[in-house]
């Protein structure tokens, strides 16, 4: 934003600029071959394809994990569970 609308005290009192964390504003300019709206739709299609590719590759990587890693992760979870039980027991005794 240029913030021109809030320059000067008389304007600042009338206008409040805030942000919405899940919104953004962008401009798309076309050289004329394709309308701007078409460029955005095409770009979003490409982005979706790339996100799908990343998701598939992550799934493959997780499936290729060595069995030892899976067993080690399971053992780590058991240790965490035992520690949680110990904490709970200590709270009950206290």
Helix, strand, or coil (residue 82): helix
> 13: burial class by Cβ within 10 Å (0-12, 13-18, 19+)?
exposed
Write down the pTM of the prediction: 0.46
Give the pLDDT band of residue 13 (cuts 50, 70, 90).
confident
- Per-residue H/E/C for 22-64: CCCCCCCCCCCCCCHHHHHHHHHHHHHHHHHHHHHHHHHHHHC
pLDDT for res 89: 52
Rounded to an integer, what distance in angstroms lies between the CA atom of residue 17 and that of residue 2?
Answer: 11
Sketch the domain layout of the chain as residue ranges. Answer: 66-94
pLDDT for res 23: 81
pLDDT digits (tens, 9 = 90+) for 38-93: 999 999 999 999 999 999 999 988 888 766 566 666 666 655 555 555 554 555 55
Q: Which of 31, 41, 20 is nearest to 1 (CA)?
A: 20
pLDDT for res 77: 63
């Amino acid at each position: 934003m240029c913030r021109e609308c809030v320059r000067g005290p008389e304007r600042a009192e009338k206008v409040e600029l805030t942000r919405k964390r899940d919104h953004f504003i962008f401009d798309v300019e076309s050289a004329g071959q394709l309308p701007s709206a078409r460029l955005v739709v095409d770009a979003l299609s490409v982005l979706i394809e790339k996100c799908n590719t990343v998701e598939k590759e992550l799934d493959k990587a997780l499936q290729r994990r060595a069995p030892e890693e899976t067993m080690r992760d399971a053992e780590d979870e058991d240790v965490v569970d035992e520690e949680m039980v110990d904490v709970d027991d200590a709270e009950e005794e206290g």
